A and B are shown apart, each in its own frame.
Chain A
């Protein structure tokens, strides 16, 4: 397929299930029917997504969380004391 504007070669890319054609020469993008709507919807979902768990500046990195605390691990030993006593 050739670019309707400059006649350059169009390449197909797939991003999040949406096929887009981009011209190798002028970088123009060609959207099929409904693809603009699909992209707009994805953008709206992205904007509506809750922000990641905020933490103070001295907070542990997510990797540290993962290291110390597997999901659904029962609380025992020192962690039990930290959660359950003064």
Chain B
């Protein structure tokens, strides 16, 4: 028990089914005490001994088999599922070897994350690789915002994004496409039993612009939430490993600017929604994200 995760689930029936699946899949599962690793956003992940069992969001699963096959070809970078996905009451469930998640109380493994991303971005793209698609979360989150000055600030910044990100135009033809994780953050890494870090969560894995995998730390740095020191460690390790998302020896913001703006707006929208739901004012870091939206609007159209 790490004490870092939610241990209560509102779906005891689902929990019990995941434990049952885990016990069958894990050699040490019979005596292991099950542990909830993640229970948010309609996703439930339970550890049973040596395996983690994941119940996916109800509407997810499209292209999962192709992505699992792709992950299986990159075992040094990605943790793929141990077998084909299962169906539990209409929900997709998949089983993985357990790995230890990042401990937020320790020094964060920015360099390891950067090197994994650089390796993934440098891998050969198979002809049949699924497409990552477009950054779809931002438009959905902004459309769900309520009223108020912070929500207005986020909406104004969103209006400056290119139309294809706002979902109002077709995607531009892609240049510089690679295999990308598609939803990278520090919760998407585990330390495997061999002591090496791997990327987890293959649901957005596919062919796309690698700059989007750097977008979240770039957005948090630009908003003043992530320290220049941590951002420098991440970007430095990425460029040193030959990652192709930023131009070698030139200004990284030529490629990172729009992904970072997009994620800053997406994170700000999430913050405003969460604070509204909890009926409390924005805290310092959340306000910093909304302030970044104000600067994005002032900077003008990114297109």
Binding site for B on A (CB under 8 A): 53-62, 64-65, 67-69, 71, 74-86
Contact of B221 among A55, A78, A79 (CB under 8 A): A55
Q: Which residues of A contact B260 (CB under 8 A)?
A: 56
CB of B296 closer than 8 Å to a CB of A? yes
User: Which of B40, B186, B225 has the most chain A CB atoms inside 10 A of its CB?
Assistant: B225
A79 touching B225, Cβ below 8 Å: yes
Query: In the assembly, what is the distance between CA of A64 and CA of B292, in Å?
Result: 11
| Chain B residues near A68 (CB-CB < 8 A) | 224-225, 284-285, 288
Expressed in whole angstroms, the Cα–Cα distance for A36 and B288 within the complex equals 48
> Closest approach, in angstroms, between the C-beta of A65 and any C-beta of chain B?
5
Q: Which residues of B contact A86 (CB under 8 A)?
A: 41, 137, 183, 185, 187
Within 8 Å by CB of B226, from A54, A69, A85, lies A69
B222, B267, B283, B298: the one contacting A60 at CB < 8 Å is B222
Chain B residues near A71: list those with CB within 8 A: 227, 229
Given that A54-B252, A86-B137 are known contacts, is A69 also in contact with B104, CB under 8 Å in the complex?
no
Residues of B contacting A76 with CB < 8 Å?
104
A53 touches B228 (CB 8 A): yes
Chain B, residue nearest A74 (CB) = B105
CB–CB A84/B185 < 8 A? yes
| Smallest CB-CB A-B distances: 4 pairs | A60-B224, A64-B224, A84-B187, A58-B295
- Asked if B261 lies at the interface with its beta carbon under 8 angstroms from chain A, I say yes
Q: Are the C-beta atoms of B186 and A69 separated by less than 8 Å? A: no
Tell me whether B102 and A84 are in contact (CB under 8 A): yes
Q: Which listed residue, A57, A65, A80, touches B104 by the CB 8 Å rule?
A: A80
Closest residue on chain B to residue A65 by CB atoms: B224
Given the known inter-chain contacts A53-B228, A86-B41, please indicate yes or no for A60 contacting B286, CB distance below 8 A. no
B:177-222 near A, CB below 8 Å:
183, 185-187, 216, 220-222
User: What are 6 A-to-B residue pairs whose CB atoms are below 8 Å?
Assistant: A58-B299, A60-B224, A64-B291, A65-B227, A69-B226, A76-B104
Interface string of B253-274 (1 = CB under 8 A from A): 1001100110000010011001
Q: Do residues B228 and A65 form an inter-chain contact, with CB atoms below 8 A? A: yes
Alpha-carbon separation in the docked complex, A85 to B220 (Å) = 13
In the complex, chain B residues 220-261 whose Cβ is within 8 Å of any chain A Cβ: 220-229, 231-232, 251-253, 256-257, 260-261
**In the bound complex, CA of A77 to CA of B284 (Å):** 11
Q: Which of A60, A61, A84 contacts B186 (CB 8 A)?
A: A84
Q: How near does chain B come to A24, taking the closest CB pair, in angstroms?
A: 44
Q: How far is the CB of A16 from chain B (nearest CB, A)?
A: 25
Contact indicator A85/B222 (Cβ below 8 Å): no
In whole angstroms, what is the CA distance A76 to B285 when docked? 11
Residues of B within 8 A of A75 (CB): 104, 108
